[in-house]
Structure 1
Amino acid sequence: MEVLFQQLGQCDEAYARWFEYAYSRKHALQLPFEPTYETFLRFFERRKYRLAREVFTFDAWTGQEQSGRGGMLNFVCGSNEPFYANGCLLHLPREEPAASRVLTVSVLKKVVRAMVLAWDPDGCAVIIEANRGEKKVRADDGPCLGWLMYVSERRGKVPPLPRSVRVEPMEDKGSLIILTPERFSLANPEHADLAGRVRERLEKAGLLPPSGG
C-alpha cells in the first residue's frame, strides 16, 4: 500500500493527499493520513478494515469535491475466498481541471504502473465510465478490455494486434496495451471497431473470457 500511494502521488497532484473515507465530507476531512507502512499497519489492526482474519479492505478519498466518486480508491486484499475477490479500484477524475491532466495516456501509464508495482496483478484496465456496460470492452466474469490494459506474463503472451495499437513492456512483469493515443470512446465508430477486433484476438489467445452469453 505504501508503494501504491507513493507512486500515485507522483502521477498527478490530484493524488497528493488522502483521507480515510467517511459517509460525510465534513467527517472525512477530519481524517487525513500519511500513506506510510506504519500507517497501514495501524489501520489494518482495526476491526473496521478487516473482512476476515487476514482479509483487509480500505477506502480512501482525495478530498476533492466531484460528482460521483472521482477522488476515491478502494481495495480488498489477502483473500483466498471467492466471495471476497481481491482487487483495487481507482476512480479517475471526471471534472476539470483534473480530468484534462489525468485522462491522458502519459499519466494513465503511470497510474497503471503504480498498480503493477504495488500489487503485481494478473491484469489491470482503464475503463471510461460511459463504456463500462459495453460487452466489447468489459466482461463481468473476468478481465476487461479498456483504453489501457495491462496483462501479466503469467496469463500468456499478447498476440499480434492491429498496427495502430501500441504494446509496451511494463517493467519486467507483463505488457501494456494502449488502444488509442487520444481518449477512447465507444461513441466513436473507429474506436468501437478497433475495440471489437482487439477483444477478438485477445479472446483467441486466452487472455480474455469470451464476450458471448
Structure 2
Amino acid sequence: MTERYYAGVYWPARLESAEECARRSVAFFRLLAQCDEIYARWFEQGDSLEEALQREFTPDVGTFLRYFQCEENQLGKDGFSLGAWTGHAEAGRGGMVQLTCGDASGAYPNSCVLYLPRADVEPEGARVLTAPVLVRVLRAMVLAWEPLFGVIATHEFRRALRPARDPRGFAGWLTYVARARGDVPPLPPPVRAEPVEDKGTVMILAPERLSASNPEHLALGRRVQEVLDAKGLLRPVLS
C-alpha cells in the first residue's frame, strides 16, 4: 500500500480574532500558491463532487472573514475551522487543507494540515514530493501560522516512531521546531538544517522520501528523534 504524505504545523492555545485568522489564511494560501501549480486554485468542500466543484473561492481577507463568521465554521467561544481542496477530482492528484485557528481554550488544538499528492501519481506526486518543494511548503506554513512544531511525513512513519497516545512530536522526513523551543543541536548525517527567518529551523532528514517500509529510514528517524528529545524540542505542543 502506498504511504500518503502530509504536511502539518501545530501551535498551542492562541486567541485570535476572525480578522487575524483571515489575514494569516491569506498569507498561507498566497505562499502555498508559489510552491507548485496545483495550489493555484481552491474550492470549498461540499456534500458531493459536483457541488464542491462549483464552490471555487478566491483566498482573500473578505472570503475568509465570511467563512469564519459563519456559525458552522466557529468553534465554541473562540476558534475557527476551515476545509478546502484543490479541485482535482482524480484521486491523489491534488491536496486538501484542514485548518483550526484562533482557539484559546485548548479544546480545539490549533493546526494546519495539508494532505499532499500521492507518491505514485504522475506528474503531481513526482513533482511535489521532493525535498526542495516541500521545504517551501513547510516554510509557507511556518511564516503564516508561527507554529511551535511542524512535520512532513506519513501516518505510517509517525506510528513507527511514537506510540499512538504519545503527544510528543516526532522526526519526519522534514521536521520544524520553533526558535522559542530552544536551539537545534548538531544532527547526524545526512540531516541538513535551514533557518526559517527568525522563526525556527527546518530539518531535512534525507534528500529522498522517508518511508516506514524502509528500515534504514526508520533508524535515521529514531536517531534524530533521540537527539531532539534529549533537548526537549519535541515536547507536546500544549505543554
CA contact (8 A) 1:21 1:59 kept: yes
Residues 139 and 209 in structure 1, CA contact (< 8 A), matched pair in contact too: no
1:201 aligned residue: 227
The offset of 1:69, in angstroms, is 9.2
Question: What is the CA distance between 1:140 and its match in structure 2?
Answer: 4.3
Q: Gapped runs of 5+ residues in structure 1?
A: none
**Higher RCO (CA < 8 A, seq sep 6+):** 2
Write out the 4+ residue segments of structure 1 that deviate beyond 6 Å after TM superposition.
Answer: none
The residue type equivalent to 1:185 in the other structure is S
Deviation at 1:137, TM superposition (A): 9.6
Per-residue Cα deviation, 1:76-123 (whole angstroms, up to 9, x for no partner):
111122221101110000132111111000100110011011101101
Counting matched residue pairs gives 210
Deviation at 1:143, TM superposition (A): 2.0
SS in 1 for 2:175: strand
Q: Structure 1 residues 172, 123: closer, same or farther in 2, change over 3 A?
A: same
Q: Which residue is 1:76 aligned to?
A: 100
**Do the aligned residues in 1 keep the contact of 2:160 with 2:218 (CA within 8 Å)?**
no
Structure 2 counterpart of 1:108: 134
* Aligned partners of 1:136 and 1:196 also within 8 Å: no
Q: Partner of 1:191 in structure 2? A: 217
Q: 1:207 to 1:34 in 2, by over 3 A?
A: same
What percent identity do the matched residue pairs reach? 48
What residue in structure 1 maps to residue 110 of structure 2?
Answer: 86
C-alpha distance after superposition, 1:143-201 (max 9, x if no partner): 23210011100111111110311011111111110100111113222212111111111
Equivalent position of 1:45 in the other structure = 69
Query: How far apart, CA to CA, are the structure 2 residues paired with 1:139 and 1:192?
Result: 19
Instruction: Report the 3-state secondary structure (helix = DSSP H, G, I; strand = E; otherwise coil) of the residue aligned with 2:177.
Output: strand
Q: Does 1:117 align with 2:143?
A: yes
Q: Which moved more, 1:80-89 or 1:9-18?
A: 80-89
Partners of 1:123 and 1:132 in 2: how far apart?
14
Q: Residue 35 of structure 2 aligns to which amino acid in structure 1?
A: C
TM-score (norm 2): 0.82
1:61 counterpart = 2:124: no
| CA distance in structure 2 between the partners assigned to 1:54 and 1:192 by the alignment | 39
Provide closer, same or farther for how the CA distance between residues 14 and 43 of structure 1 changes in structure 2, counting only shifts above 3 A: same
